[in-house]
Structure 1
């Protein structure tokens, strides 16, 4: 399986892995900045953006990312991951730690963390909307939940479009088997960001990861929701660039 991907620029490789409410389009502003001195690789995981998802598929998102690095001849990379994309990055870096020199992650979920009440309420409402066939309503719920107060109308509309497309593709595929790998044994330094305006679950996840993994540095962004790279793109791009170095 070859993931839909784009490679621009030259220099050290940096891979950008999108959030579960987005696809590679979320990184447009970061790509334009980083391509000046990096080989920037963006991708769509299965069921997102331009990468299809077939009914009954058996795969691993983390395995797909490692396979793409093999295909592109990338031996070592820095990686930026947002939300679910950060979880995928953690799995890949646990399986092949020698391939990753630095991880910059925004609010990645983590295993073995009890869902908070606000997360449970969100998940229940999303499931109810999808069960009723209300994809538009479910997409709008994700926009309200994920985009913080600093996000403008353009950012909200982009998330709405990306999430609606992902729902349509994934619901059409039905049940699939995505093999998730255990997280641990990562050797690369990790920079974690969370937002003060997102579900409390993600702060709990970052606390767990900070205790589980070595060389973790965490910063809470007081202005941010769950998607800071779309909410204040120029400021977040500067923070990402600093964290990569």
Structure 2
């Protein structure tokens, strides 16, 4: 793993050589790629995975400036430093918005994108009154850490309440990993920018994956986002909420194979 002021915290898993798939996490407390996507990466050890933690998450230092733009620059900087000219991406929520911005600004750099529950704009394609709750994330953070005393019990409640459809199945080890990561992280600040003006410039094929019970934005939002992107398809997974990569990793891994190509 590498960490510094210049590079995002990152690591490699799976096969050595071949096409690289970058893994980016969401924006919730304690989110980091190695745990959030650990089950998917373990399910496909034949793939070459590069996980990265965005600024303010995991061991990556927080930085100033516009939140998405700063993270997108950090991502392309990491790829430059590692000598990776073209990569695929598997990302969730906030990480998916970062990937869309980076793809819009560096055409040809990103091959194919699989994005889970990402909401890069409140009204994709100009469609209004979609089922999207832009204030849910800040409210959850306030409940979790507003008094300055977050704990693992609150972390479990957060994950069970919005990230998993069946909150009784959240593994203890995942809760602990998220809580430890949150306690180490510097934290990211600022609201993400609205990427509505950037969507037309995303030339990479995108496959959107959505939990049918995602409380941040429903399947109707996902359909509008798919229509707003130049080359996008959509799969809605039943029995999942905002983190299907953790709740149904085998289904997500199969979609990765379908969209990015199987390496078995």
**CA distance, structure 1, for counterparts of residue 41 and residue 136 of structure 2:** 34
Aligned-residue CA RMSD (Å):
3.0
Deviation at 1:30, TM superposition (A): 2.4
Q: Deviations over 1:174-204 (max 9, x none)?
A: x569777653201111101111122152535
Picking from 127, 139, 145, the partner of 1:130 is 145
Further displaced range: 13-22 or 206-215: 206-215
**Residue aligned with 2:185, SS:** helix
* Aligned twin of 2:163: 146
Contact 2:57 2:182 in 1 (8 A): yes
Could you say which residue in structure 2 is the equivalent of 1:19? Answer: 26
For the structure 1 residues 167 and 197, does the alpha-carbon distance in structure 2 shift closer, same or farther, using more than 3 Å as the test? farther
- Give the helix-richer structure, 1 or 2: 1
Residue 241 (structure 1) shift? 1.6
How far did 1:44 drift?
1.0
Q: Partner residue of 2:3?
A: none
Partner of 2:83: 73
Structure 1 residues 168 and 41, CA gap change in structure 2 (3 angstroms): closer
1:107 & 1:197 partners in 2: Cα distance? 11
Choose the corresponding residue for 2:7, options 2, 6, 13: 2
Report 1:1-245 matches (<5 A). 1-8=6-13, 9=15, 10-21=17-28, 22-25=31-34, 26-36=36-46, 38-53=47-62, 57-58=64-65, 60-113=70-123, 116=131, 120=135, 123-136=138-151, 139-144=155-160, 145-149=162-166, 152-154=169-171, 157-159=173-175, 161-162=177-178, 165-166=181-182, 169-170=185-186, 183-184=198-199, 185-199=201-215, 201-245=217-261
> TM-score scaled to structure 1, two decimals?
0.83
Distance 1:168 1:131 in 2: 17
With normalisation by structure 2, the TM-score equals 0.77
Distance 1:180 1:2, change over 3 A: farther
Question: How much has 1:29 moved relative to structure 2?
Answer: 2.5
Change (3 A) 1:122 1:49: closer
Q: Secondary structure at the match of 1:217?
A: strand
After TM superposition, the structure 1 stretch with the greater mean CA deviation from structure 2, 95-104 or 192-201, is 192-201
- Equivalent pairs counted in the alignment come to 239
Residue 100 of structure 1 deviates from its aligned partner by 1.0
Partner Cα separation in structure 1 for residue 237 and residue 227 of structure 2: 20
After superposition, the Cα gap between the structure-2 partners of 1:141 and 1:198, relative to the gap in structure 1 and judged at 3 Å, is same
CA contact (8 A) 1:196 1:220 kept: yes
Within 1, Cα distance between the matches of 2:194 and 2:50? 22
Residue segments in structure 2 that go unaligned for 5+ positions in a row: 1-5, 124-128
